[in-house]
A and B are shown apart, each in its own frame.
Chain A
Amino acid sequence: DAGVIQSPRHEVTEMGQEVTLRCKPISGHNSLFWYRQTMMRGLELLIYFNNNVPIDDSGMPEDRFSAKMPNASFSTLKIQPSEPRDSAVYFCASSWDRGRNQPQHFGDGTRLSIL
């Protein structure tokens, strides 16, 4: 079975540009999570969706960050305008929420560098 698929794997862009990260969750999973990982702050949850609905976006750092999940098989995380401090690895994860908390499965991540 295909795992969580993220694109692009690497993104290098200049400050001020718009960045769009993409995620395809595991088929049949109904929860999707966006994380950011840096050496200083570790793994941070940015936002999560359940059945395509945003449930908790308290981790989104600023209004420059936005996320959408238009259907069960696709989500985007957008940064506009981007800043050098946004440089990090961004992970998408998905799980099947069926009462008892199920483990999350991670994609390979997008390594983002803002110059």
Chain B
Amino acid sequence: QKEVEQNSGPLSVPEGAIASLNCTYSDRGSQSFFWYRQYSGKSPELIMSIYSNGDKEDGRFTAQLNKASQYVSLLIRDSQPSDSATYLCAVNGGEYGNKLVFGAGTILRVKS
């Protein structure tokens, strides 16, 4: 079992729809959870961090964390073509210590 799992996609949504990206992780001691966006040929860019159970909203982005289910998600409201990218889930803390463990990423395509 991979430590951080994501559906590779591609996930295709129409412009204006809600995109829902999901991630599960194996270490129950994980403490910090991050979503990075990576455009083709570019570096990963931090878009959300979440540390406690529940929802955290920032503009069109909402991160959701459920530690009991070892599940973290990212919702993108009013999706735009410019949101088309690979979204990487990353986890650290617990046995990972200060290391970030990344999922393989989900490719999101927003069609206009």
Could you list which residues of chain A lie within 8 angstroms of chain B, going by C-beta atoms? 31, 33, 42-43, 45, 48, 50, 55-56, 91, 95, 97, 100-109
Contacts and interface: CB of A to CB of B under 8 A. Distances in A.
A contact patch SS: strand
A33 B100 contact: yes
B43 A91 contact: yes
B44 A100 contact: no
7 contacts: A43-B102, A45-B100, A103-B49, A105-B46, A106-B44, A106-B45, A109-B43
Contacts of B34: 103
Contacts of A100: 31-32, 51
Given A100-B51, A108-B43, 19 more contacts: A33-B100, A42-B105, A43-B102, A45-B99, A50-B98, A55-B97, A56-B99, A91-B44, A95-B98, A97-B98, A100-B31, A101-B31, A101-B92, A101-B93, A102-B32, A103-B46, A106-B36, A106-B44, A107-B43
